[in-house]
A and B are shown apart, each in its own frame.
Chain A
Amino acid sequence: DGGITQSPKYLFRKEGQNVTLSCEQNLNHDAMYWYRQDPGQGLRLIYYSQIVNDFQKGDIAEGYSVSREKKESFPLTVTSAQKNPTAFYLCASSTWTSGIRANEQFFGPGTRLTVL
């Protein structure tokens, strides 16, 4: 079955440590996205990538970094510079119809990061 996997489901880290969240998709989608979800705030876009080796900052990119070395993978690193990293992180992917429409995004199950 095609889909998006995120690992791990729960992650605990000490303050000041960098941590990398995994996101893999086998939907053959070109575009991938990372969102952060906090209670009562909906989803906020961190980074997105439309093509391998290229990515753009979203609305809240400070303290985060990404890479896109393979079409299937889009890992997110939460660095020690992120002031409030405890949150639920969601990865998504979509097809990309350049300049024509904004396609629906398909989401992974999420990773809950808790910084102690």
Chain B
Amino acid sequence: AQSVTQPDIHITVSEGASLELRCNYSYGATPYLFWYVQSPGQGLQLLLKYFSGDTLVQGIKGFEAEFKRSQSSFNLRKPSVHWSDAAEYFCAVGSILIKAAGNKLTFGGGTRVLVKP
């Protein structure tokens, strides 16, 4: 079964500093990988996704992520953090359920980012 680990529960970063959020996945086949962001009390917004091709993926709000198959990782980065980036971030791996005729996202536990002025 697939699984996603986000090792950091909380990260505090100064405004203007760089940010990197770690994500490790376990999945037997070609992974479909996603990063979502959630503001308090809100739904999730897709930041970026990886299906195939270039392993460096650009997303919205200045975020990017790099897929490294050898390390089973899909880390999210931003060069310069803004106060509005304070939120919770979720990594997810998508799988195709052939027998159940569906597809499924398995989420990590999330990383909460705090931004210091």
A: residues with CB less than 8 A from B are 4, 6, 31, 33, 40-45, 48, 50, 56, 58, 88, 90, 92, 94, 96, 98-110, 112
A58 to B34, CA, bound (A): 19
Are B109 and A31 in touch, CB under 8 angstroms?
A: no
Nearest-CB distance from B3 to chain A (Å)?
11
- Secondary structure at the A interface, as helix, strand, loop or mixed, is strand
| Contacts A43-B90, A90-B43, A98-B101 supplied; 14 other A-B pairs, CB < 8 Å | A31-B102, A31-B103, A40-B9, A40-B109, A42-B4, A50-B101, A56-B101, A99-B96, A102-B94, A102-B96, A102-B103, A104-B94, A105-B105, A110-B41
Nearest-CB distance from B18 to chain A (Å)?
25
Task: Report 7 cross-chain contacts, Cβ distance below 8 Å, ordered by A residue.
Answer: A41-B109, A43-B44, A43-B105, A48-B104, A102-B32, A102-B104, A108-B43
